[in-house]
Structure 1
């Protein structure tokens, strides 16, 4: 039986991470099971001599999740969970979403390699790039692929973008309206992916053989856009939800504001049920509009945001 194509209204149906009860295990499962947003790399940067950039397929990430599933179940049911929590909470800035994403992937890479569940060995991380004495950036992860005998550079990004027509990469914009998918890809291509050789602490000077952009997260479609067609670069199994214009009183009126709960910071990854408190007072009255941000309508994530800012950014 062929599985139906996920849509914003049934995205939660295709959420294998929801089977886990411990929050950080659920986050880790999300990071593995969520596909890369891209089905292929789009060359959006000005013409220049840059190396080829690759993205992992959705089937690759599904295979990693399947291979690691038994280990996820162990982390969810045994004291091994402490290994995961200690690892994440002792990393720099664990409360920032990007650092949390990197920490989760780094734990999987380290733990999975130690258990023989994948061939990727971390040989360097957060490699500083210099121009003279000035730091100009860093590389997220440099791995050795023991299966293919290649040194790989993985550059990571976790993005929660709202889309607007015509849904090109520049039309997917973040809560910070200066951030969009095209800008992130251009930055990766012209900054981090230009490096050929790096110096490592334990492995000396190594040459990068292959480059992967790992871009995950959630996308949000406008609530009044029901004829969305996936562009060929966007993975159809990527988590897709809805966003509401804060001034759209008609569609907002269809929401039950009495049960709409604002998300805590880490819930951009996965929902924490222990934050659900029916006795918690509303942060707004029925006659007022919720502030911009991520919310849960029961278990379904949604974003409320001023449409004006998104549309202005999308037209630039």
Structure 2
């Protein structure tokens, strides 16, 4: 039987807005990280932190009046996003975060730098997404931001959360944060005092019944989706989300009834059920 069990009482304030870009901006600010904590089994080379969910709730509350204005007058946001020529969702997410950070009247951060390259001679050592001064603590913070979608397999342990490209795994991303992206002690002649990963998106559990336990590091304040290769019954009324809607769906149904030969993310009409449909041959591929 195809059954999706979803909590209906999660706080998802981004859904109150009508303009799609503003809904997505609100999601990027208000949604909690997909992880509630850094998994204990992760071996850290360079330590970093995750913002608590209540921190993002506070940021959204402070920005709410601005979002209401943008919902009626989105031109400024539209023009800002025109700088982005890529269709990659991760870069789009970064642009939304940058737009919010530049609105300095609504939060305690001052942008010291964005996309900062660290170069030694002819070699590029890496790049920092954001260097910020937190005016409440007077500390310099390094933020790395990422929008990710991972599907749980086997025993739900850290090693078995796969992205849509199976070489992109959750453990690989976390190791990249620790081993590569947070290696720097300074940037732009500022000493880095705190390091934060802003890791948002969605996690998906297999639709098949399972006795596996959800790990404690999964943030249950963020809605979980389901994934599988099963085709839901016709009366379940799923439709396929457009690629940009993976950040946040439009306020109206944006496509026809689902055609299940196409891999992608699907949403149930009038219900908050997300289903990542994957063809079985794709699931059988393993990257060692």
Task: Determine if the TM-score, normalized by the shorter chain, exceeds 0.5.
Answer: yes
Determine which of 32, 37, 41 is the counterpart of 2:34.
Answer: 37
Gapped runs of 5+ residues in structure 2? Answer: none
Determine which of 127, 136, 140 is the counterpart of 1:151.
Answer: 140
Cα RMSD, aligned residues only: 2.5
Distance across 2 between alignment mates of 1:61 and 1:110: 16
* Closer, same or farther: CA 239–104 of 1 in aligned 2, 3 Å: same
Per-residue CA distance 1:171-210 (angstroms, 9 max, x = gap): 22111111111000101111110011222xxxxx111111
Per-residue CA distance 1:131-190 (angstroms, 9 max, x = gap): 431224311111000110100000111001111231122222111111111000101111
Distance across 2 between alignment mates of 1:105 and 1:46: 28
Gapped runs of 5+ residues in structure 1? Answer: 1-6, 200-204
Matched, 1:69 2:64: yes
Matched, 1:82 2:79: no
Matched, 1:60 2:55: yes
Distance across 1 between alignment mates of 2:213 and 2:57: 23
Q: What's the secondary structure of 1:72's corresponding residue?
A: helix
Per-residue CA distance 1:61-119 (angstroms, 9 max, x = gap): 11111111121111112x2x2111111122342x22011100111111111x1x2x211
Q: State the Cα distance separating 1:239 from its structure 2 match.
A: 2.2
Distance across 2 between alignment mates of 1:255 and 1:176: 29
Preserved contact between residue 89 and residue 244 of structure 2 (Cα < 8 Å): yes
Please say which structure displays the higher CA radius of gyration. Answer: 1
Q: State the Cα distance separating 1:261 from its structure 2 match.
A: 2.4
Q: What's the secondary structure of 2:69's corresponding residue?
A: helix
* Equivalent residues in 2 for 1:1-316, closer than 5 Å: 9-10=6-7, 14-42=11-39, 48=45, 50=46, 52-77=47-72, 79=73, 81-93=74-86, 95-111=87-103, 113=104, 115=105, 117-199=106-188, 205-225=189-209, 227=211, 229-245=213-229, 248=230, 252-256=231-235, 259-273=237-251, 276=254, 284=259, 289-299=260-270, 300-307=273-280, 309-310=282-283, 313=286
Q: What's the secondary structure of 1:123's corresponding residue?
A: strand
